[in-house]
Amino acid sequence: MNDLLRLTVAVSLLGAAIAQSPAIFPAEYSAVAEGPLDSPNLPLAYGTSRVQLVYERADLNIPAGRQIRRLGFRQDATFPNIEAGRSLQLEIRMGLTSLATTAVTGTFDTNFTTTPTTVFGPALLALPALRDPAAPLPNGQFWITLTTPFTYNPGSNNLVVEYRVYATSGGGAPFAWRLDRADYHSPTALGPDGCAHSGGQLPRLTVDPVRTAGYYSSSLTQGPAQSLAVLAMTTGAPLTTPFSLQPFLPGIATACRGQVSLTNPLALTAVTNSSGGVYYSFFVPNSPALYNDLFVSSQAVLLDFFAPGGAAVSNGAQVQIGIPPRCTTVYAGGPPSTMTSGSASANYCPVSFFDYQ
């Protein structure tokens, strides 16, 4: 086999492997082993019911033109008990909508822009037990193989998946079957220690996860008491490799090293309390396009007359701003053929998997 033929085969095999990799929604949950919330019984355990999940395409990493062949969910891994499955008489429909998830209504049919396609059933489906050590689910996941794959060509539209449960082996009543559920993803990280102030303590800076339309919050502890504390901040970049501050604060201790960029930094000022603590907070606007995954890196500079160079610094702290899951769930209990409307729950998102080819 010549080199060109080997390269062609290798590229073809790689493309096939990539095509068979399942997409996860929200997309950023590929790095999240377990969401912070759970879905007690939606979308499959609400009894006799009609349930829609509307997914925004921005968070759905499926190339246009591919066929979705399986739908999956994963069990909530934090709940300690086994939850038995049930048998369902189930139909699944898929289609597209021009509505953003924030505009989805409780009227099921008007949420479809395209005519939905029945991709499963109506047919029997047996739900497995969750968190059963005698019969563990592979990777904690449960899959439904579609009888009719759905060709995903969203254009400017979003994806709608509708679950119609006509009957259950539990007499049609809802039952507990907890699935993993997403929330905003906002990872944080702390830099190395700063330097001690004249009282001998190392100032400690922490930062909380934050989302758009929420409040950025960071706390300083172990600083000098009743002293000016300047929180130097930079946006759009993580913490930097520690660098010397002596060119900027002559005489400062060698251990006092900078961890945020000094190019056009922002600054929040406050005075520490009698224990050397201070709290910083500000509102993050509800603009996902501007702020989703944006880094905010910070480090406190503390004035201290008796410290070398008259100052000490904390460790650095960074956070990436998250956004609520771009998914809306619409649900109603009762015979699916008679349920025309239900309750719409924005940002309600069981972690979902899509296997495509």
The pLDDT value recorded for residue 4 is 38
CA torsion 154-157-159-165 (nearest 10°) is: -120
pLDDT (average), residues 44-59: 97
**Res. 19: pLDDT tops 90:** no
The distance in angstroms from the start CA to the end CA of the chain is 28
The stretch 332-349 carries a mean pLDDT of 97
Instruction: Tell whether the model's pLDDT for residue 18 goes beyond 90.
Output: no
pLDDT > 80? residue 313 = yes
The residue written with tokens 């082996």 in the block is 169
Q: Which two tokens stand for residue 300?
A: 């406190």
Distance (Å, rounded) from C-alpha 344 to C-alpha 203? 46
Report the amino acid identity of residue 252.
I
Q: Where are the beta strands (DSSP E) in 182-284?
A: 188-190, 204-207, 215-221, 228-235, 243-244, 257-258, 266-271, 278-283
Spatial contact of 280 and 207, defined as CB atoms under 8 Å apart: no
- Using one digit for the tens of pLDDT, what is the confidence trace for 222-249? 999 999 999 999 999 999 999 999 999 9
CA distance 281 to 275: 19
Read off the pLDDT band of 1 (50, 70, 90): very low
Whole-number pLDDT of residue 263? 85
What average pLDDT does the segment 197-204 reach?
A: 97
What pLDDT does residue 20 have?
55
Residue 17 has a pLDDT of: 40
Q: What is the pLDDT of residue 6?
A: 43
Q: What does the pLDDT average to over 293-322?
A: 97
pLDDT for 262: 87
Q: What is the arithmetic mean of pLDDT over 311-328?
A: 97
Question: Residue 10: which pLDDT band, with cuts at 50, 70 and 90?
Answer: very low
pTM for this predicted structure: 0.86
Q: Does the structure show a pLDDT above 60 at 7?
A: no
Q: What is the mean pLDDT of the chain?
A: 93
pLDDT band at 264 (very low <50, low <70, confident <90, very high): confident
